Amino acid sequence: MHGVIADLGTAEGAETLFAAHPQTDILVNNLGIYDDVDFFEVPDSEWERFYDVNVLSGVRLARHYAPGMVGKGWGRILFISSESGIAIPADMINYGVTKAANLAVSDGLAKRLAGTGVTVNAVLPGPTLTDGVAALVADAAQASGRSIREEADHFVRNARPSSIIQRVAEVDEVAHLAVYLASPYSSATTGAALRVDGVVDSLAI
C-alpha cells in the first residue's frame, strides 16, 4: 500500500488516483472542507468549491470504483456526512447543504446497487475533535483561557445543548463505526445513515 498525492476536489486529481489505484474493495469518502461564514458573504465561487470538494469528489470515486466491486460481488462504500446535513447550521449553510447531498447520494446509490453485495452507507458525526475543529476553536480557547478540548466541549454544551454526551467526540469514536461498516460484519447494513453525534435531538432519521 502506498499513498497518492492528488486533489480529489478536481476531475484531474481523481484521474491521478485512478491511474495509481484502478480498483478497490473499500471506498471511504472522507474529503471535506468547512468554514464559519455568514450566508450573505459566501459567493458563488465558494458554493461551487464546496460542492466540488464535498460532493463531486465522492461521486467521481464511487462512479469509478463501484463497477469493479459489483464485478467481484463484494464492496463497501462510505460517505462521511455530518449531523449538519440534517440540522443545517445557520452559520455554515453551504457546508450543511453539501452534507445533505452526501446523504442523498449514499441513499440513492445503495438502492442502485441493491442485491450486488456492495453496501453503501453514510456516517453522520457530530462535533468531533479533528485538527480542523481544533483550529476553529483555537482563538476562542486563547481568549477564554481554556484548553482546546475544554473549548470544544464548551461549544458542544452551548451550541448543541441537546447532546446527551455533552462533549466533543473523539476521532477514533467516528473511525470505529467506519471500520464496522467497511467490514464483512456489516453485510446487512446498507442504505443507512448512522449517527455518531452524541444524540442531537433535532435529528429525525
pLDDT string in tens for the chain (205-residue length): 689 999 999 999 999 999 999 999 999 999 999 998 999 999 999 999 999 999 999 999 999 999 999 999 999 999 999 999 999 999 999 999 999 999 999 999 999 999 999 999 999 998 888 888 898 899 999 999 999 999 999 988 988 787 888 898 899 999 999 999 999 999 999 999 999 887 665 555 5
Phi, psi of 78 (to 5 degrees): -120, 140
Q: Report if residue 204 sits inside a domain.
A: no
Amino acid letter at 196?
A: V
Residues 173, 129: contact at Cβ < 8 Å? no
Question: Cβ neighbours of residue 163 under 8 Å, at least 6 residues apart?
Answer: 126, 156, 157, 197, 198, 199, 200
Same domain, 88 and 101: yes
Q: Report if residue 44 sits inside a domain.
A: yes
Q: Report if residue 38 sits inside a domain.
A: yes
The per-residue pLDDT for 4 is: 95
Distance, CA of 88 to CA of 84 (rounded, Å): 5
Distance, CA of 184 to CA of 163 (rounded, Å): 31
The grid cell for 203 is 435529528
Q: Which domain holds residue 63?
A: 23-126+170-188
Residue with cell 480498483: 23
The per-residue pLDDT for 168 is: 87
Question: Cβ neighbours of residue 1 under 8 Å, at least 6 residues apart?
Answer: none
In total, how many domains does the chain have?
2
The per-residue pLDDT for 174 is: 94
Same domain, 34 and 90: yes
Q: Can you give the CATH number for the domain in which 182 is found?
A: 3.40.50.720
Same domain, 45 and 144: no
Same domain, 94 and 132: no
Q: Report if residue 57 sits inside a domain.
A: yes
Same domain, 103 and 136: no
pTM of the predicted structure, to 2 decimals: 0.90
Strands (E) in 21-177, as ranges, are: 26-29, 75-80, 118-125
Question: Which residues are the active-site residues?
Answer: 95
Q: Quick one: residue 131, left, alpha or beta (phi over 0 = left, psi -120 to 50 = alpha)?
A: alpha
Same domain, 70 and 145: no
Q: Report if residue 9 sits inside a domain.
A: no
